[in-house]
Structure 1
Amino acid sequence: MIITEVRPFLLDRYLMVEIRTDEGLTGIGESGAWGFLEASRGALDHFGRYLVGKSPLLIEHHWQYLYRSTHFRGAAIMGALSAIDIALWDIAGQHHGVPVHQLLGGPVRDRARAYCHVYGTSRAELIDGIVAAKEQGFTAVGHLTPFLDTPREQPYFETEAQKIGRAIEAVHRYREVAGDGVDLCIELHRRLTPAEAVLLGSGIEGALPMFLEDPVLPDNLDEMAYVADKINVPIATGERMTSIWDFEMLLSRNAVQYVRPDVCLVGGISGAKKIAALAEARHVGVVPHNPLGPVSTAACLQIAASVPNFALQEFPTVDLAGFPAEAIEVDYAHDGRGFLTVPSAPGIGARLGPDAERIAPPRIPPLTTRLHLDGSVVDQ
């Protein structure tokens, strides 16, 4: 069996790749370089020229060849490599007639606990989102910001006392609404300085959040370690990281209690499985990052099924509300009790629908960044 075509294509706001073989098997993958889809598509075209004519079953060899063939990497390159890796695992599973997790050592669980996204431009909307999640059966909510999902076009200003004080108050209010039957995954989107993160983290300990996600920018790992050492709330981070080496440096600093590898960015299923093993050695949980499309979720669930230290799966229900379900046919579902079923179909459990590219045409988000009232750039 050899690869005959590597075809990248945009589907709504997601970048996919199909890898076809001479035996009729087709694998699908997704790139996690969601801010730079055009650049990642170019990398897929480049990688595809190497893959055509090769066996799709030499997954690790192809991974090493593509990764080490260039001195330059980053999100666009690693998103492309991740998409290819996922698609190759999809083909391997179909070739052997088993779901991918069976090739990774077999399942350690038959369902994956998930958290859904909660959005809101007002405190009332965020609270309503928590209530709705409970009614849908979820036992955890995420993407839950204490700062509001304010439009980036709106200039920002708060005093430090307002910024931190209101955020602390919000998290405690979220706990009142959620009760103890719902875990809170508090999302900060890297918008605080280390000093601010310590103030906020100390102030929300009593609300018992499951974790505090991305309190500071990931550019300096020592800053994340500083925050982790000063607060008693677990930190989750890693969604911007692109390799096992990034995660090794993070873990070696005791800067994280829940790693957040993006399967579509860290080198696919191959990369995510290795990162999970690094975390397992330190009793650190795995919460796969997943703000993407249905193919990403299907790939994440292969990791969730086969990784002993899996903790929680991000499930972007709100983000996918406008995405036509028939564009990608999937072999998983929410069971109504806060869990996603693990795909049992051969491969990853996701297939391109017959009319997908017509019903989900490309939609590239514009470049936007929020500004402060004084005209400077704000992290949000």
Structure 2
Amino acid sequence: MKITDIKTRFIDIYMFVEVHTDEGIIGLGEAGSWAFLEAAAAAVETFKRYLIGQDPLLREHHWQYLYRCYHFRGAAIMAALSAIDIALWDIAGKYYGVPCYQLMGGKCRDKARVYYHVYGGSRQELIDGCIRAKEAGFTAVGHLTPFADEPRDKSWFKTFASRIDDGIESVRQYREAVGNDVDLCIEIHRQLTVPEAVALGRGIEAYRPYFFEDPVKPDNFDEMAEVAASIPIAIATGERIHTLQEFVMLLSRHACRFIRPDVCMCGGLTHAKKIAALAEAFGVQVIPHNPLSPVSTAACIQLAAAIPNFAIQEYPIGEDRPPKSGIVKSALTLEDGFLVIPDTPGIGVELQPDAEKEFPYIPREYKTRLQSDGSVFDQ
């Protein structure tokens, strides 16, 4: 079997990669570089010059060849490599007639717990989202900020004291709204300094958050480790890093209790499986990052099935996006807050033939929020 073509498909806000073979098997993957999908598409075209004519089943060899050939790294390149790698795993599963997790040692579980995305421009909207999630049968809610999802064109300012007190009060009300039947996955979006993160982390301890995600910027692992050593709740981080070596540095500093590799950014299933094994050695659990399409979800579930230290899966529904059925034909089934592990060969999803026409590409708006003094604010 040989690779005959590689195509990129832009649908809505997503970019997909299809790897075609001379046996008619087509593999599907997704790139996770968010606002830089065009750059990832250019990297796919570069990788394509090597891949055409190659045996698609040599996944590890191709991964090493593409990653190490010219020694350049970065999010766009890794997103392209991730999408191609997922597509090659999809081909392998279809070729052998098994789900990808069977090629990774078989499944460790029959279903994967997921958490529901909650959005809102006010505290009440976020509370209402938590309640809806509970009513829908979810046992965890995430993407849940203590500070509300305010528009990026609104300037920002709060005093230290008011910000911390407001954040603590929000988490208290989330807990009051859902009781102990729903875990709260508190998302900070890298917005805090170390003193702010420590103050907020200590303040929300009483409300038993499942994890405290990305309290500070991920560029400095020592800062994350300082926060982790200073608060009693579990930190989750890792969505913005994408190499095995970066995850080693994060884990060796004991900077988190949950790692969040993005399968569509960290090198696909090949690399994500290795990152999960590293985390296992440190007693750290894995929560795959997944703000993308059902293709990303399907790839994440293959990883979730195959690793012993899987904790919970991010499951993005509820946003103002096209219905999942309009983008893909999927084998995934949601039951009482869990995705059933499918037995479909490959990753278990296919793109709808007319998805590009139905949902034309929408480049993400490039806008960052500013503080009241005109400086940049992380959101």
> In the alignment, which residue of structure 2 is the partner of 1:182?
182
> In the alignment, which residue of structure 2 is the partner of 1:24?
24
Larger mean CA deviation between 131-140 and 321-330 belongs to 321-330
Change beyond 3 A, Cα 1:245–1:320:
farther
The amino acid that maps onto 1:272 is A
**CA–CA separation in structure 2 for the residues paired with 1:74 and 1:43:** 11
Query: Aligned-pair distance for 1:323?
Result: 4.1
Q: Would you say 1:86 and 2:86 are equivalent positions? A: yes
> In the alignment, which residue of structure 2 is the partner of 1:231?
231
CA contact (8 A) 2:322 2:359 kept: no
CA contact (8 A) 1:298 1:343 kept: no
CA contact (8 A) 1:291 1:319 kept: no
The amino acid that maps onto 1:136 is A
Query: Aligned-pair distance for 1:326?
Result: 2.9
Query: Aligned-pair distance for 1:259?
Result: 0.2
**CA–CA separation in structure 1 for the residues paired with 2:300 and 2:320:** 16
Query: Aligned-pair distance for 1:71?
Result: 2.1
The amino acid that maps onto 1:356 is A
The residue correspondences of 1:242-321 to structure 2 (distance < 5 A) are 242-319=242-319, 321=321
CA contact (8 A) 1:324 1:360 kept: no
> In the alignment, which residue of structure 2 is the partner of 1:330?
330
> In the alignment, which residue of structure 1 is the partner of 2:15?
15
- Once the two structures are superposed, residues 75-130 of structure 1 have per-residue CA deviations (whole angstroms, 9 ceiling, x without a partner) of 00000000000000000000000000000000011110000100000111000000
Query: Aligned-pair distance for 1:293?
Result: 0.6
Change beyond 3 A, Cα 1:43–1:174:
same
Change beyond 3 A, Cα 1:362–1:323:
farther
Q: Would you say 1:376 and 2:360 are equivalent positions? A: no
Q: Would you say 1:57 and 2:57 are equivalent positions? A: yes
Larger mean CA deviation between 221-230 and 353-362 belongs to 353-362
CA contact (8 A) 1:142 1:314 kept: yes
Q: Which runs of 5+ in 2 are unaligned?
A: none
- Once the two structures are superposed, residues 316-357 of structure 1 have per-residue CA deviations (whole angstroms, 9 ceiling, x without a partner) of 00236424523211110211x110111211000010112122
CA contact (8 A) 2:28 2:90 kept: yes
Describe the SS at the equivalent of 1:368.
Answer: coil
The amino acid that maps onto 1:361 is P
**CA–CA separation in structure 1 for the residues paired with 2:245 and 2:111:** 29
CA contact (8 A) 1:99 1:347 kept: yes
Q: Which runs of 5+ in 1 are unaligned?
A: none
> In the alignment, which residue of structure 2 is the partner of 1:344?
343
The amino acid that maps onto 2:367 is T
Change beyond 3 A, Cα 1:112–1:320:
farther
CA contact (8 A) 1:323 1:360 kept: no
- Once the two structures are superposed, residues 141-180 of structure 1 have per-residue CA deviations (whole angstroms, 9 ceiling, x without a partner) of 0000000000000011111111111001111111111111
Aligned residue pairs, count: 379
The amino acid that maps onto 2:65 is Y
**CA–CA separation in structure 2 for the residues paired with 1:287 and 1:90:** 21
The amino acid that maps onto 2:369 is R
**CA–CA separation in structure 2 for the residues paired with 1:243 and 1:344:** 30
**CA–CA separation in structure 1 for the residues paired with 2:319 and 2:29:** 19
CA RMSD in angstroms comes to 0.9
CA contact (8 A) 2:294 2:324 kept: no
- Once the two structures are superposed, residues 16-69 of structure 1 have per-residue CA deviations (whole angstroms, 9 ceiling, x without a partner) of 000000000000000010120110010011111210000000000000000001
Describe the SS at the equivalent of 2:376.
Answer: coil
Describe the SS at the equivalent of 1:344.
Answer: coil
- Once the two structures are superposed, residues 183-240 of structure 1 have per-residue CA deviations (whole angstroms, 9 ceiling, x without a partner) of 0000000000011100000101100000000000001000000000000010000000
What is the TM-score normalised by the length of structure 2?
A: 0.99
What is the TM-score normalised by the length of structure 1?
A: 0.98
The residue correspondences of 1:350-369 to structure 2 (distance < 5 A) are 350-369=349-368
Larger mean CA deviation between 338-347 and 253-262 belongs to 338-347
**CA–CA separation in structure 1 for the residues paired with 2:241 and 2:101:** 23
% same residue: 59
Describe the SS at the equivalent of 2:34.
Answer: coil
Ranges of 4+ aligned residues in structure 1 off by more than 6 Å: none
Change beyond 3 A, Cα 1:183–1:318:
same
